[in-house]
Amino acid sequence: MNETQAVVKHIQQILENEPRINLHHYPVKVSVLQGAVVMEGVVADIAAKKLALEAAGAIEGTHEVVDRLRVVPSERRGDGAIRDSLANFLLNANELRNCTMRVVSNGKLEMLREAPPDNGGSINFEVNDGIVTLSGAVISLSHKRIAGVLAWWTPGCCDVINSLDVVPQEEDTDYEVIDAVRLVFEMDPFVQPEQIDVKCSNYIVTLQGYVRTADESRRAELDTWYVFAVNRVVNNLELLG
């Protein structure tokens, strides 16, 4: 067994031992191309995707991980329908009301909303084969993270490439992540944020407190996974008696 084969086998073993990934239902192809580990396949949710990428990146000798993993969409929709729903989400998000919005449709960049000068930046988005790409520049990490979560929430979306720049550059901290998660909870009508405590350490978020149902617990956890740069979520939420 050569070094490349050993790396692939090691990653596959880690994936097999992670119940959130479930290789039996969602096979993940692992290969090495020009020194980079390539991950391909369809996974159950955002948690499985991030855990798989983390597993590959943690292997000694891995210098680059190419992400070709897609998440099973909540429903099957064409790119046009995904694009329309995302446009609605972005345009109606109170936190993004001062952002200019543009969409790439049929290869052309179309203006959806032009904000006044000295605004919250500009967001461009496009959808190709269910994959949402965000580009442009926003004024804060919270803006970047909220736009990314809205993209993940869009029915039919199977992946999000969040390439939004933050101008001026902003130092990321655990507190920034906590603030973003709390904002996302407030935006989700199916989550009651008042009884959820959010903690973060080195991009690992822990949720504590109480929820009404198991579905609310799952939604809160997935909402947290959707937040840009969150590497792991520890769900310690309890059901109200």
Residue 137 has pLDDT above 90, yes or no: yes
- What tokens were used for 236? 């310690």
Give dist(CA 146, CA 169) in Å, integer: 17
pLDDT at 35 (0 to 100): 84
pLDDT at 40 (0 to 100): 98
User: Hey, how many other C-beta atoms are within 10 angstroms of the C-beta on 49?
Assistant: 25
| Cα 182 from chain centroid (whole Å) | 15
Give dist(CA 71, CA 44) in Å, integer: 6
Residue 68 has pLDDT above 70, yes or no: yes
Residue 228 has pLDDT above 90, yes or no: yes
Q: What is the pTM of this model?
A: 0.95
- Tell me if domain 3-71 and domain 174-239 are identical in fold: yes
| 3-71 CATH | 3.30.1340
Give the tens place of pLDDT for each residue, 71-117: 999 999 999 999 999 999 999 999 999 999 999 988 899 999 999 87
| 174-239 CATH | 3.30.1340.30
Strand partners, 220: none
- What tokens were used for 210? 């109480």
Residue boundaries of the structural domains of the chain? 3-71, 79-166, 174-239
pLDDT at 1 (0 to 100): 63
